[in-house]
Amino acid sequence: MGELTLVRHGQAGDVMGDYDRLSELGLRQAARVGPALQGAVAWDQAWSGTMRRHQLSAAAALPSLEGPPPLQLDPRWNEFDHQEVIRVGLAAGLGHSTSPGVIPSFFSAAMARWADPAHAHEYNEPYAVFYERVVAGLDALCAGLGQGERAVVFTSGGVISAVCRSLLGLSPVVSFEINLVLFNSGLTRLRVSGARRSLVQLNLSHHLEGEAGLLTRS
């Protein structure tokens, strides 16, 4: 039996600006991940999406581990283009403004439109393609995970919610609700036994609770 831990990246940049980076707070959050992972006996594999915020999160966390494995990159762990989803949603009249931030009701509606096959042609990566990509990445990693091995993946909230959908048989819309509550640098743990994957813990945040202001979802 193997174990897989998914780490959401630390707080990123402006939602509709340079999002693919980490804020100073995001770097502090990601640094807290390493000590939280250190409790495991050993980590055999470390993975990241190819996005900058994923790799920066990994770079802040992994040095705290004793003998950390080399970081491997796989674009299948990359997030969907949330800015495109927002722009298309605004153009469709689902909302009027994203200032000062994207309100959950608008974002939920915009995500539901993205998941609707009738609108797939409006997006560079339709939801069905994104979901298949994430599941393919999960399948490949789990297939290469040996008995008793542990792997950690630095990724994004949309990816984690897609993994939860695949494990729990959720609808896309229900899985989007998971995405809205995932903490930056939160941990989600899976147990892997052959072709069987089980969700063990979702959105762990104990490592972020010792300092005021570390619990964010941006």
For 179-208, write each residue's pLDDT tens digit. 999 999 999 999 999 889 999 999 999 999
Task: Render 115-149 in DSSP notation, one character per residue.
Answer: H-GGGGGGSSS-HHHHHHHHHHHHHHHHHT--TT-
Query: Which DSSP category does 44 fall into?
Result: -
pLDDT-based confidence at residue 42 (cuts at 50, 70, 90): confident
Q: How far apart are CA 218 and CA 182, in angstroms?
A: 9
Strand partners, 197: 192
At 162, which amino acid appears?
Answer: A
pLDDT at res. 100:
47
Q: How far apart are CA 207 and CA 218, in angstroms?
A: 17
**Number of other residues whose CB lies within 10 A of the CB of residue 187:** 22
Report helix, strand and coil shares of the chain as percent, to nearest 5.
45, 15, 40
* Cα–Cα nearest to 55, from 45, 46, 64, 43: 46
pLDDT at res. 103:
66
Strand partners, 190: 4, 199
pLDDT at res. 40:
58
Q: How far apart are CA 117 and CA 138, in angstroms?
A: 23
Q: How far apart are CA 32 and CA 62, in angstroms?
A: 10
Q: Distance from CA of residue 54 to its chain's centroid?
A: 9
pLDDT at res. 97:
54
* Cα–Cα nearest to 205, from 32, 25, 11: 32
Biggest distance spanned by C-alpha atoms of the chain? 52
In this model, does residue 1 exceed pLDDT 90?
Answer: no
pLDDT, tens digit (0-9, with 9 covering 90-100), for 54-113:
999 999 999 999 889 999 999 999 999 999 999 999 999 997 655 545 567 888 899 999
pLDDT, tens digit (0-9, with 9 covering 90-100), for 107-149:
889 999 999 999 999 999 999 999 999 999 999 999 999 888 9
- The radius of gyration of the chain's CA atoms, rounded to the nearest angstrom, is 17
pLDDT at res. 67:
87
Q: What is the pTM of this model?
A: 0.94
Query: Which residues, 6+ apart, have CB-to-CB distance to 169 below 8 Å?
Result: none
Q: How far apart are CA 129 and CA 123, in angstroms?
A: 10
Pick 15 or 144 by higher pLDDT: 144
